[in-house]
Amino acid sequence: MAVWFILPLLLLVAVALLLMRRQRLRRTAPKLQARTLFTLTTGDIVQYEGRDWVVEDRLLYDDAGFQWLEYLLRDGDDGRWLSVCEDDWLEVGWLEDVPAGELQGLTGDFPPRLRCRGQLYTLKETGRASVTTAARVMNRRLQGCRYGDYEGEDGRMLSLERWDDGVDPGPPELSLGRRIDPAAPVLLPGDGHSVYR
């Protein structure tokens, strides 16, 4: 008779322990937050044009209080920049680095018009920005840069940056791309760790 009493009691205790353990695991498991164009971090995934791009760095540009973001994305040996600027409209750019030697018409710092890869670009704005990086272990606050943003036909974009690296900063950094629909990239949370470092 005692066995019939003890067996259900042991079963009830085992179920209670299992439920407590499951509840404890739920509380300690990290909750992945949905990502937006403003909250991407290292290790997150940006799916675009049939590829998975891993966020490797997040740069915050600040020009006298006006801020915008640029994310360095990688897929193997390929890199892209996802540029996010919120002004009157949300503008999102998809750019890749291009050798500055491909520019035609680069006279002075930021001429009113430039030609690159057969396309004409017109200067939209220039300025100076401080830049802070999120993923770097060293040199998190970069010197800053002078920039020139150019636009071409059909949403094409060209970005020139001259970094404050002493007396002779050398040739400007050139990125070339286009404006994209802000809803086009699919943003997925990652584990917070770099894939390529």
* Boundaries of every domain in the chain: 1-31, 45-188
Q: pTM (2 decimals)?
A: 0.80
Q: Which of 178, 1, 166 lies closest to 83 in space, CA to CA? A: 178
- For residue 137, the model assigns a pLDDT of 59
- pLDDT truncated to tens, each residue of the chain (197 aa)? 565 667 677 777 777 777 777 777 666 555 668 899 999 999 999 999 999 999 999 999 999 999 999 999 999 999 999 999 998 899 999 999 999 889 888 877 899 999 999 999 999 999 999 998 887 655 555 678 999 999 999 999 999 999 876 666 667 899 999 999 999 999 999 988 888 77
Instruction: Please say whether the beta carbons of 55 and 43 come within 8 A.
Output: yes
Q: What is the identity of the amino acid at 90? A: L
Q: Residue 81 and residue 177: Cα distance in Å, rounded?
A: 9
- For residue 62, the model assigns a pLDDT of 96
One-character DSSP codes across 122-161: EEEEEEEEEEEESS-SS--EEEEEEEEEEE-GGGEEEEEE
